[in-house]
Chains A and B, each alone.
Chain A
Amino acid sequence: MVNLSEAIRTIRWMVRDTFRQSISTKLFWVMLGITAVCSLFAASLRITGDISTYEGVAYTLPKDEADKVGGAAKVIDDGVQIKNGELSLGFGVIRTKLAKSKDDAVKFVQVWLAGVVGDSLGVLLALLWTAGFLPTFLEPQSATVILAKSPPRWAILTGKYLGVVGFVSLQAVVFVFGTWLGLGVATNVWDLTYWLAVPLLVINFAIFYAVSAFIAVATRSTIAAAFGTLLFWILCWTVNYTHHALLATPVEGLGQGAGFLMEVGYWFLPKPLDLGGLFFDAIGAQGYFGEMPEMAKIKAGGHFYPQASVVASCVFAVTTVGLASYEFEQTDY
């Protein structure tokens, strides 16, 4: 019978131990260092000028440009938009003309930071860096002392898993807060939708770290956990992309069986591409980065179910942690 208070106490201790472990391995400070660099980068953003509309001012546009907006006469009647701003990074080291409005420029940097640095590089690096946490802990010489105590093994493993996810969540919060603050202070644009990056980064990490935990329990090898998870991520991305590509552009001659298998694979496995798409939608990135045509097509065709996709991915993660716990229970030490 499950002793809930003991399980909660165990999970709390394991989470606390994982934080101590993360600080001792210097990973905590390395990740904070990266956040500090990104926040400094965000704070170095300077925007001078903006897009201005001058009513009634005659302004000569190149003919093709004027034609695009209804002809020169109309432009003069409506007022003319003059792009007179400048965007600089690195406290003025890199300068470029402002392509859009000030808010848009900030959004672009946010999308770049959260989407590229956080969601892609950040999650993959976090998976690689934290891959050693469980195998180190599961070494028989270290684990037997804890496993010879009364807490159930599933609670020990769940605590360790939640500890790592909690640690990465904290890093994600600090990263988003730091860069959001840097951008806000530098530009006075305080866009709260940027905070949606936190749950999406955490969910993305938690799903794939469940796989890392399972491999760690099965093999007790850091290398297997790190590269196994990376390969699994590539597999999931491929299945996710192929599924959307086949929906967007059906291939003639593809049998029903193959289609069914693809559908099963898509719903069974985590869907990193969908999570990324959802993330981009949430922070309004579509206006800044070109959307993958396959994704755009299935969205237009009403075949994209973001909520179901996220729920299915989360179910996969919970099931995987459950299987890892079962494997852990059966393992001889």
Chain B
Amino acid sequence: MRVWGGATVHAATFENVNKIYKSGLFRRRGLTAVDNVSLTIPHGSVFGLLGPNRAGKTTLVKLLLNLARPSRGAVTRLGEAATVRASLNRVGYMHENHAFPKYLSASEVLHFCGGLSGIPTDQVAGKSAYWLERVGLADRAHEPISRFSKGMVQRLGLAQAMLNDPEFLILDEPTEGLDLLGRQLLRDIVQELKAASKTVLLVSHVLPEVQELCTELAVIVAGRVAYRGKLTELTSNRTGLEAALKAIYVKGTA
């Protein structure tokens, strides 16, 4: 956590948050994706968000990014209400299924994203070149994305997320489609952010990755927080993370 002006500021907080997706012709049907979640993500942590499929993890990420609005409760990001868009300039976001416009090249995507993120024009080119080099796409910078494999699109997704030097990086299933080198690159970047006391929120099913990178985690089951604590606490009973998580999943859905 960070203390500004005497007040404790977390990277993110969820306070009694509910999210019900309405559907149907008259929006009468409702699906509860998040149910009364209260959670804090401390500044400078690498925070893991785990849970079975359809547990509500991605919905929490969307609420945090103001891509969706809570049906009830309050969400803050970097000390401000999640609805305040200005702080999104300090956030990087990468998800598992990026679909960048196929008519753009990798370089054009980064210029476009950099422009929208408010990066000064004279800095966008340099930052784009740096990140394309870093994610291994420098030699394909001017090719249309339509020729890219899924792994290459994921690498580009990582580059766009890092372009604005984020204070808070949100990774939603980031290794989906990445090869071994791509995964290693991602791990390196997260470690660098950790060393720089920046915050990373990692939503993942890949347990070795979570074990290697995360310091704290929360487990979401059926839209609720089933566990919140240090990774070391969860694995201290020598059963291993996988067994501990299975137990939480079963208990949470029971």
Contacts and interface: CB of A to CB of B under 8 A. Distances in A.
Given A9-B115, A9-B118, A24-B102, A144 B95 contact: yes
A145 B67 contact: no
Query: Which residue among B85, B86, B117 has the maximum number of chain A CB atoms within 10 Å of its CB?
Result: B85
Interface in A318-333: 330, 332-333
Nearest to B94: A145
A147 interface: yes
B150 to A, nearest CB: 12
B99 interface: yes
Contact of A149 (B89, B95, B157): B89
B65 A150 contact: no
Interface residues of B, number: 32
A123 to B, nearest CB: 25
A148 interface: yes
Nearest to B92: A148
A20 B108 contact: yes
A229 B146 CA distance: 30
B101 A142 contact: yes
B69 interface: yes
A152 interface: yes
Interface in A1-56: 3, 6, 9-10, 13, 17, 20-21, 23-25
A139 B113 CA distance: 17
B88 A148 contact: yes
Interface in B58-103: 62, 65-69, 85-89, 91, 93, 95, 97-103
A23 to B, nearest CB: 7
B3 interface: no
Given A142-B99, A148-B93, A20 B116 contact: no
A249 interface: no
Contact of A332 (B68, B95, B99): B68
Interface string A144-175: 11111111100000000000000000000000
B104 interface: yes
A150 B117 contact: yes
B103 A24 contact: yes
A244 to B, nearest CB: 37
A176 to B, nearest CB: 27
A17 B102 CA distance: 12
B117 A20 contact: no
A256 interface: no
A145 B117 CA distance: 11
A150 B103 contact: no
19 contacts: A13-B115, A17-B112, A20-B101, A20-B103, A21-B101, A21-B103, A23-B103, A137-B101, A144-B93, A146-B113, A148-B91, A149-B113, A149-B117, A150-B88, A150-B89, A332-B21, A332-B62, A332-B67, A333-B62
Given A146-B113, A148-B88, A333-B67, 6 more contacts: A21-B101, A148-B65, A149-B113, A150-B88, A150-B89, A152-B85
Interface of A: 3, 6, 9-10, 13, 17, 20-21, 23-25, 137, 139, 141-142, 144-152, 330, 332-333
